[in-house]
Amino acid sequence: IERAKKLLEGLDGNGDFSEMTKTLSQETRAAKITEYGEEKLPAGDLSGNEIIVCEGRADVVNLLKNRINNVVGMNGTRLHLEIARLGEKKEITLFIDGDRGGKLIAQNVINNARIAFVAVAPDGKEVEELTGKEILIALRRKVPVGVYLRNG
C-alpha cells in the first residue's frame, strides 16, 4: 500500500489515470479499518463524540471508502455489549439497511442501547452497496430515535 500511495501522489487525476486514482484512493481509505473491543468489531476512527453504527464489516468498508471514518460494525444482528457501552459515552447514529431486516435490527438495538439517531438506506438497498452520494443523503435524513419509532 505504501508503494501505491507514492505512485498515487505522482498522478494528477487527469486523463486515463482518473479512474485508477479514484479506485486506489478508495482502497487506501478502506485499508484503514481497525478492530474495536474484545469482540474485534470492524471500525474506523472512534475518537470523536459521534459514532455511526452499522450492521457489518462490508458496511464499514463502504463508509470508509467514502470518507466516513467514525464508524463501527456490529458483525451481524447481535448487539454487542461494546456498542451499548459506546452509547453511554458517545452520540450514536444507527445506520440500517432499507429492508425488513434493517428494521428488525433497529428495534433490537434501540431497545438495548442508547441511540440518538437512525439513518436508513433507500428502500431495498443495503448500506454496503450505497454510493457516496446515497450515503450522504441517508445520513442527512437521519431522524431522532423517537421520530423513527413513531414513523415505524
Segment 34-58, tens digit of pLDDT: 999 999 999 999 999 999 999 999 9
Best CA proximity match to 122, nearest among 106, 99, 140: 99
What is the model's pTM?
0.81
The whole-number pLDDT of residue 105 equals 94
DSSP characters over 133-149: HHHHHHHHT-EEHHHHH
Which cell numbers in the block locate residue 101? 431486516
Q: Which helix (H) or strand (E) holds 37?
A: none
CA 88 to chain CA centroid, Å, is 19
Give the cell for residue 8: 498515487
pLDDT (tens digit per residue) in 84-134: 999 999 999 999 999 999 999 999 999 999 999 999 999 999 999 999 999
pLDDT-derived band at 151 (thresholds 50, 70, 90) equals confident
Distance from C-alpha of 128 to C-alpha of 12, rounded to nearest angstrom: 29
